[in-house]
Every structure is written in structure tokens, then in C-alpha cells.
Structure 1
Amino acid sequence: MKTIKKLVLFGIVLFAAISAQAQTPPVDDNGLAIGGYDVVSYFSGKATHGSKSYAVKHNGATYYFANKDNQSAFKKSPNSYLPQFDGYCAWGVGAKEAKFPINPETYTVIDGKLYLFFNGPFNGEPFNTYEDWGQRTTELKKAAHANWPKVKNSK
């Protein structure tokens, strides 16, 4: 019985560790944007999960919000809160001219704009694209904005 409890506990811990590092597409197959994170919450300095209770459909995607105030703010001015590069990894667009999924908890807000990043296992090793972005922000931000028109329509 102790062995079963230990295995179950190990499974829960493993699932939590994998989930914490999970990458998500900007909009998943069900139309949920940013893994269900509240895009308005990023501007207060903390990435927060939203709730189905405060859902808003925008441009074919469903955004969740943590509360009615954030939902209202988004409805009033969605473009003020939407992430750059349709929610793809800003580093991927700037450094690799490619679309990478994101870890919704790895982000920055620069000049009132939200940038999201890949942060998780890559080829069996941890890889946080925000680290390079943080060292070369000006260069990579400029490159990402220049690259986005051609990257946007790529697969």
C-alpha cells in the first residue's frame, strides 16, 4: 500500500513539474488564448490564470480573465493588452525568424507592450529564451518587429 501511495505522489509531483514548464501555443486547438492566462494581469506585474466565468471572444480566440475589471478593461481596449507577435515567442521571432510556443509565465512588458517567451525543455535541456532577450533586448526587439511581417504568415 505504501508503494502505491508513493507512486501516486511521484506521479502528482511529476505532473506538476511538467505542467510548470509546459509550453503552449498562443491559441490552442480549442481556441483558448495564452493557455487561459489573463492578458490584462501581465500589466500589473503578475501572470494570473483567468476563469471561464470571465471569458471574451476576440478575433476567433477565447481569452479568460481573473475578474470582471480585467474583462472590462480588455473589452474596452483589446489591442492595449494583446501580446506582440500574436502571442508567439518574441525571441523566436527576433532571433530565429520563427514561431515558437510560449510559457505563459515567462514574459515582459516594455513600453506598454506584452512580450511572451519560450521557457522549458529543448532537446532534453532547460532553455529560457527570455535570458538572451534580457541581454539583447534592444537588438532582438527591433529584429522581431522587422521580422514579424514575414514570420506571421509562415507555418
Structure 2
Amino acid sequence: MKKLLYFLFIGLISLSISCSKSDDEDELTKDGPFPISELSGNWEATKAQFSVSSTSVDIVEDGGTVTMSVQASGRFTLTLNPVDRDAYAVTGEIFWEEWQGSYYFAVAWDDEPNDWDTYGHTYDGTTLSINGGPDSGDYDFDNDGDLESCSIHFIFVRS
């Protein structure tokens, strides 16, 4: 009976080790459709739109500015300067999320380091467009100090 329990125990350990990593798990990488290091440099937004329901704000269209500085490692600083409030900056790191053979543009924001968001993107070497679905960004639409969850659409050109 002891031998049977021993083999059962070994079998359970082997099963748990072989099932500990699933093929469906997502992984973060710097190499995807293009290396993240290609984004290094300074970027200026031609569009910086935040939308929720029927409310939409484009900081650039309203006369403000949005700039982004990206390091070769993927670390970045995004500086938003709306016309109706003080400028502020957010930071994070850009990755590719590889999942089931596809790559998704991913951002790990420094205020939530153990989580990341994925975005649609286009990139042609000089223009980077980032589109997020619902809850992909936050913006204080009524300037009351409370951020509201929203979708984002940014278009950047190299500066």
C-alpha cells in the first residue's frame, strides 16, 4: 500500500508540474511585429482623444499638447498639457503581449505595475496610432479631480 501511495504522490507532482504552464498564457516581449526599441525618441500627438458615451475630448484639437518620450527599453513618459488645467505626466513601459500566436501592443502603466492594457495600433516608422477600447484610459472630463474610465485614440508623429 505504501508503494501505491508513493507512486500516486509522484504522479500528482508530475501532473502539477506539467500543467503549471499553459500554452494559452500570455507573455510580454519586446520583439513582435517590430522591436519596441524602434519607438525610441520623442513623439508629438496630432490627436489625443478621450471618449466615453457621447462625451469626447481631444486635447490637441482643443489647443493643448501631448508629447511622449520613449527610451529604447520601452520605458516612456507621456506628458499631457490640456488648455483648461495644469499639465501632468504619466509613465510606464511598452511591450508586446504574445497570446495564442498573435501580438498585441501592450502598456504597463507605472501606477498599476502588475497589470497591463492592450491597444490596437498602426506604425509606419514616423506615425504611431494607438486605439483602446472601453476602459483603456482615464480622463477627468469635468475637471473635478475625479478620473473617469474611457477609451483613447492617440496619433503621434516623430518630433
Length-normalised TM-score, structure 1: 0.31
User: Greater share of helix residues, 1 or 2?
Assistant: 1
User: Greater share of strand residues, 1 or 2?
Assistant: 2
